[in-house]
Amino acid sequence: MNDREMIVNMDIGELKCDVRLRLRGKETLGLYPDLFTLECWNLSEDDFLRLSRSRILSVLHGNSCLIYGVITDVYRQTVPEGEITTVAFVCGWALWVTAVSLSVPAGLSASETVAQILENTGLPFSLFSWVGEDPVFSRGQAFHDRAALCLTSALSAAGARGMMTQHGLCVVPTEGLPVSIHLTERDLVDAPSFTAGNLMVISTLPIGWQVGATLELEYEGYLRKGTIMERNLDLDTNAGSWKTELLVELR
C-alpha cells in the first residue's frame, strides 16, 4: 500500500482512476453535521458521472475508513493544473434532516428516552452503547424538532454527549470513557501544543482515532489524559504533511 493512498468508495462502486486526491474537514464530538470535501484532480468523465449519481461516499486508507458521509454536491472547476472535481459530503446528515415528534412518559431512563427518539426517526440507527450514569426522568417530555437536536437535549439532561458510529449511537459521559488509546512521543508528528481552557492539540498519523474516545499521552515525562473532541483532516496524496490533528479536552 502507498503511504499516501486513499481509496474512494461510493454506493455504486469505487473510483477507478489513479488521480491526485485531497480530503479536508473536521469531525466533532456531538450530533451536529460535519462537512468534508474531497478534491479529485483530472477525473475521468466516467468517474465524474458515477460520483454525480452517488449518494454515499467513504474514503479509506488501507483497510481503515478515514471518513464517510452523504454527498450533498459535486462540481467541477478549471485550474492551471487541469480540472478539479470537488465532492462535498456530510457526516451525521440523516439525523439533522430528519424530524421527530413524540412524547415520552415520566419514569423512563435517559437511555430508554434516547432509544425511543431513535426509533421515532424511522432510520436504521440504534443505541449501540451507554456508558456512565443512566438517570430516570421524573417528568414526561415532548420532542418536536430535528432528531439530532432532540437527542442532544435528552443526552445533555443526562450529563452526556453522543456520537454516531458505523455501529450506532455511542454515549460519552461528562467524565469521559475509559482510556482506549495510549500514545507516546514516538507516535507524534509534531510536538503537542496547549491552548486556553485545558485543551491540547496533537498531530499524529491519520488512522485509528475515534472522536469521543479517551486518549492517554506520555510525553517528556508527563502523562496527560483527555477526550478527543475534534479530528481535523487535511490529506493530499501528492503533497503536504500526512497527518491528522486531534483536539483533546484534558481532565
Pairwise CA distance, residues 162 & 173, whole Å: 9
pTM (two decimals): 0.90
Pairwise CA distance, residues 129 & 220, whole Å: 35
Mean per-residue pLDDT for 128-143? 93
CATH number at 98-173: 3.55.50.10
Better pLDDT: 18 or 48: 48
pLDDT at 2: 67
Report residue 178 as a C-alpha cell.
Answer: 475509559
Domain boundaries, the chain: 7-91, 98-173, 179-250
Label residue 1 by pLDDT band (50, 70, 90): low
pLDDT at 197: 77
User: How many helices (H) and strands (E) would you count in the chain?
Assistant: 4, 18
Average pLDDT along the chain: 92
pLDDT single digits (tens) 162-207:
998 878 899 999 888 888 899 999 999 999 999 877 999 999 999 8
